[in-house]
Structures are given as C-alpha cells and as structure tokens.
A = this chain, B = another copy of it.
Amino acid sequence: YERWIQSQQLRKWDLRCLKLQPLSPVPSDIEISRAQSPKAVDVLAKEIGLLTDEIEIYGQTKAKVRLSLLERLKDQPDGKYVLVAGITPTPLGEGKSTVTIGLVQALTAHLKINSFACLRQPSQGPTFGVKGGAAGGGYAQVIPMEEFNLHLTGDIHAITAANNLLAAAIDARILHENTQSDKALYNRLVPVVKGVRGFSSIQLARLRRLGINKTDPETLTEEEISRFVRLDIDPSTITWQRVVDTNDRFLRKITVGQANTEKGFVRQAQFDIAVASEIMAILALTTSLEDMKERLGKIVVANDKKGEPVTADDLGVTGALAVLMKDAIKPTLMQTLEGTPVFVHAGPFANIAHGNSSILADKIALKLVGEKGFVVTEAGFGADIGMEKFFNIKCRASGLVPSVVVLVATVRALKMHGGGPSVSAGAPLKKEYTEENLQLVADGCCNLQKQIQITQLFGVPVVVALNVFKTDTPAEVDLVCKIAKQSGAFDAVPCSHWSDGGRGAVKLAQAVEKAANQKSSFKYLYSLELPIAEKIRVIAQKVYGAKDIELSAAAQSQIDRYTRQGFGKLPICMAKTHLSLSHQPERKGVPTGFILPISDVRASIGAGFIYPLVGTCHPQTYLVCIQLLCPDDLRICIQSLKRTGPKM
C-alpha cells in the first residue's frame, strides 16, 4: 500500500484539462468565468493524488486540504519552486496574478507538466471598491471567480474574528483591572467550580513566566495574586487594532469606550483592513498547527507600565484564537479556467504586511506536483518589496529554496518609468500609452534592469515575462526583451495569456523550465545577527538604492526597546510604498541619492518580524481605504447575482 501511494505521487497527473476557445474581443472576466464549467473539486483532488480523507469539500468548486498530507508525503522530493514578482507597478497593477495563472495553465494544460499556482485570497475591501477582484483576468483566471472573490472558505472572516476577540480582551481587561480589587479579579479568573479552584494550563504558563512555581490557587500570597491578576497594560502603548474587511474610511481613526458603562475609559484607536492583521501574517508564515498556536500566543499587544511586552498568552486568549483559526490554516483548492489546480491561502497587502501566499500552501503543492513538477507562487507588488520579503522572511521561515524568479513587466509601466504622464485608476490612459513610443520604453527599462539586479542579489535565475497589451507594438516588445536579456535575465518572453489562455504563456513556461535547470545559488540578503538598524540599512541601500537611512527619534527608541526586549534577531518587513523604489511614490524609474526616512518601527512578534514605517507609509494611510466606495462599481455584483439566481 505504501508503495502504491509512492507510485501514485511520482507519476504525471492524468488531468482532464478544460478546453478553452478564446473569443475576440475578450469578454468581461465574469462572462469568461461563467462560460466555463469547472470540474467538481473532488474530481480534481483525485486527479492530483489527494486521498478522500485529506480534503474537506466546500460546495462544488472549493475544498480545504488537510495538513496530514505533509506527514504522508514527507519523503516525497519537492518540485521546483517558482516565484512571480514584478517591476515597480503603475497603480493599475501589471498582471502578476494573470501571469501566475497563465504560467500554470501553460505548464499543465499545454506542456503536460504537473504544476500548481499558489495565490493570495483577496480582501473584500478592494473587491467592492474600484479595483475589483483578484482572480486573475481574461483567459487566465481562477474559477468560479465570484467564489474566489467573495467569502471563499471563510479564512479572512476567521482572522477578523480572532483579531477582534483579542482587541476586545485588551480593553475589557484594562477596565476590569481599573475597577476591581485583586481578590475580585482572582475570583473571576480562577473561579471555584463545583467546590474546586484550579489553574488552566495557560494560567500555569503565565505563573511560570512570573517565576511563581505553584499549582494550587489557594497557596498564592497576596503579592503573588496581585502580580498574577494584573497585566498593568499601559493604554498609550497598545499596538493591537481592531480590523474590518471593508473599505470603511470613517474607521481609520476613532474614539472607543464612550458609553457610560465604560466609566470614562475612552481612548483613540483605529480599524485596519482585516488582511493587514498580524494574524494574517501568522497564517502565511506558519508551518503547523502547533507552530500557529505558539505564534498566536507570542503576539505582543502592548507594553505594561514597566515597559515589558504584554502578549496574547498573558491575556489568556491563545486557545480561543487558535480554535477560531483551526480551519483557516488549511489551504483552499480551486482550479484555473483550464482545470489545473490552484491553492488560495493567506492574504495580500505587501506594502504594510509581508503580502505572500502561505508557506503551507507552497509546501503541500511542492509535494503534490512531485520532483519534476512546478509550484508557482506570487509575491505582492514590485520585486523590491514583495520578493525581498519572500526571500528574507518567507523562505527563512519555510526553509524552501526557490529555483526561478519570473519578473513581470508591461510596456505601460516601463513607459511610465521612462517619463510618461502619470497613470491613475479611473482616468483614461494618455496616448503615450496607446501609441508606439520606443524612447519612453527604452528610458523606462532602467526600472526593469534594477529589479533584475535585485533578484540577482539573491542568486536566483530570473525570467522576464512581458505581459503584452493589445496596444503594444512588436518593436516595443522586442526592445524590452532585448534590454532584459542584456541586463542579465536568463530569458525574456512576451506572453498573451490574458487573451489566449495557457497557450499564450507556453514560451514563458518553456523558458521557466529551462531556467529551473540552471544552478541556483540562493542566499539571504542579510544575517539575522545584524542589529535592527543595520538590517534596515542593508535593504535600503542594496535593494532600494538609497544613500542611507535616517531614523526618527521614535524609530530609534523603538529599535532600542525591541532590542532590549530580546526581539533584535528578527527579520525586517519594510512598510514602504510600492509605487517607487524609494519612499516617494512620484519618483519613478530608478531614484538615486535619497536618504530613506524611517518614521517609526513596530513589531509583529507572533508573525516574527520587525516592521519599519518608511516615510509617510503609515498603516492608517494604507490600510482602511485603498479605494473610495462607489456604487457604480457594484454593478458587476448585481449582474453576478442575477445570473446566480437559477442556481440557488
């Protein structure tokens, strides 16, 4: 039986691919998605070697995959690991998701090579804003696109619930400590149940941290009781915010606690977008249920009045957080338009968060594709942000070694970097972008060249994928590919997956396959042993091209605090705009000579990184209201609902 499983796994998949007959002009995303009938997800699961008891079906087209698979296939060699990153994008995005999906459609449906795409679940904020969904587009999509873009299997909702339970526990705890005696608090925390009073295991752990080695609640001294029951949180140091998965700009800054029942304990707070929660980062970086629980417990929410960190474990809510996340930890299986497998797991927002899909999805996919197969995973925004975090944070946590980087570029973005007029969502594109302009392209390739160089810092071969738009001319396309190869890319290939499906990315797939056979000499950019400020400086200089960094007094004091608290050895997750290599979104191309200002430094101890805020890239600016809410953008939903009608 063992041998049968082994043989099962190493084989090429016998996958029934879904036929595509692309129309021209390309219909809307929702029309394309609706025109294709997905396979039942249990059929897909079987085709790729999942056992019946390893999946949990959610409706006809989604399934969660159990982590037990990692144990079953632990001796199976991993497949090749491909990262899709991009050049510095316009605000419209340059199509990393469509390249990721087009590439796996090409690999699996056209070249018959096992492959998996690992994508991030989109936030419902942007989905109902101007941006719309994130299932890819055109003939390179995950289907059904509305399932992908709406609740999916509830992971973001679970994160919201866990995040907000922790937030509520902080304020409730402060209120209780301020209004109750030690004895009353102790009776509430350690009540007599059926005549017996006992500590829970999480309380015993807290006692041990306090150096109180007792297990019988009746034997604590008054002083010990006081230390046990009082977390003594300094409200001005609370960094844990509530979250919502809606673009609700009026929650960016609020005052809470104004009801009479809260007895005047008001304070200023904010809501962040749910996907920016540290719990999302934990989900993305965790490697097992045990590890997730440990990380959740280590979340630091504030300091106490002595300046010591207060954690979720101290609040006694770790178990509750973990149980709320028990299903979210399992990646969700879906399929592309051509019937090839996709994992959707963890979330977006690579500017403030680390913005990568999950380690668990990648690991499971690497086992399922087998040694000759490919897993294509996506990093958010430009390579200077998403890819840098992928290598220095995600690969460090996973221990996985990437084989190839695919760097996505568009003629549009390159023209912008070459000095073209500004590009913004909602406004029509200027003619520079719709007519041939070789000079702008040539000038803008400096950004592509720089991002190639950044990739090479990590020792991984890079293939440039030029995502071709219908207004791009052959001369423009040729020019980009030529410059890319001159700049050190292993290869540079135009792709047309958006209009042609996987067939339009076959050349890219072949280039990636070749590059994967190159020697990769992957290395991290910095050692964790460096002091925090030094690690920030390395990223600023080597990746962004800054002359130096400048720490504000607040940033310096936070660095000192984290170092003193023992968090100095964590990797760095820069919170920087994605619209420029520098901290100034309007500086396109390759800015030089700038000093990178670090206005503040924060920490996600549970996720395991320090995050410096660069310039004015503060969470409250970036998180809650990416786009304005505009009723017109909801037309698609109405349309979508109408068609859903008969299927209810």
What is the interface of chain A, defined by CB distance below 8 A to chain B?
56-60, 64, 66-68, 124, 128, 146, 150-151, 154, 157-158, 160-161, 164-165, 167-169, 171-173, 175-176, 188-191, 200-203, 242, 244-259, 261-262, 265, 268, 270, 289-290, 293, 315-320, 322-324, 326-327, 329-330, 426, 620-621, 625, 628-632, 634-635, 637-641, 644-645, 647-648
Contacts and interface: CB of A to CB of B under 8 A. Distances in A.
B154 A631 contact: no
A249 B57 contact: no
B644 A326 contact: yes
Contacts of A630: 188-189
Interface centre among A256, A265, A640 (most CB of B within 10 A): A256
A634 B248 contact: no
23 contacts: A58-B59, A124-B165, A151-B161, A151-B327, A157-B160, A161-B246, A164-B244, A168-B629, A169-B629, A169-B631, A171-B248, A172-B628, A173-B629, A191-B426, A200-B632, A201-B638, A242-B251, A259-B620, A293-B641, A315-B631, A316-B632, A319-B635, A326-B648
A178 to B, nearest CB: 13
Contacts of A640: 319, 323
Given A59-B58, A151-B161, A330 B648 contact: yes
Given A167-B248, A322-B641, A648 B200 contact: no
Nearest to A192: B428
Contact of A262 (B169, B249, B258, B638): B249
A245 B261 CA distance: 19
A39 to B, nearest CB: 15
Nearest to A155: B151
Contacts of A245: 161
Contacts of A188: 630, 632
Contact of A320 (B59, B165, B256, B637): B637
Contact of A648 (B67, B173, B201): B67
B255 A254 contact: yes
B638 A200 contact: yes
A317 to B, nearest CB: 6
Contacts of A641: 289, 293, 319, 322-323, 326
Contact of A248 (B164, B258, B268): B164
A347 to B, nearest CB: 15
A157 B151 contact: yes
Given A124-B161, A128-B165, A630-B188, A324 B150 contact: yes
B258 A635 contact: no
A270 B323 CA distance: 28
A638 B324 CA distance: 10
Contacts of A645: 289-290
A176 B246 CA distance: 18
Nearest to A124: B161
Interface centre among A190, A318, A621, A632 (most CB of B within 10 A): A632
Given A254-B258, A262-B252, A641-B319, A200 B165 contact: no
Nearest 6 CB-CB pairings of A with B:
A319-B638, A316-B631, A157-B157, A168-B248, A252-B259, A253-B259
A156 to B, nearest CB: 9
A246 B644 contact: no
B190 A632 contact: yes
Nearest to A158: B151
Contacts of A648: 66-68, 289, 326, 329-330
A499 B300 CA distance: 44
A628 B176 contact: yes
Contact of A323 (B58, B200, B320, B644): B644
Contacts of A191: 426, 632
Nearest to A64: B59
Contacts of A289: 641, 644-645, 648
A287 to B, nearest CB: 12
Nearest to A189: B632
Contacts of A190: 632
A246 B165 contact: yes
Given A164-B248, A168-B246, 19 more contacts: A56-B58, A67-B648, A151-B158, A151-B161, A164-B244, A164-B246, A165-B629, A172-B628, A173-B629, A191-B632, A202-B631, A253-B259, A254-B256, A259-B620, A293-B641, A320-B638, A322-B638, A323-B640, A326-B641
A320 B133 CA distance: 13
Contacts of A242: 244, 248, 251
Contacts of A244: 164, 242
A249 B255 contact: no
B259 A638 contact: no
B637 A172 contact: no
Given A248-B168, A255-B258, A256-B250, A323 B150 contact: yes
Nearest to A258: B253
Contacts of A200: 632, 635, 638
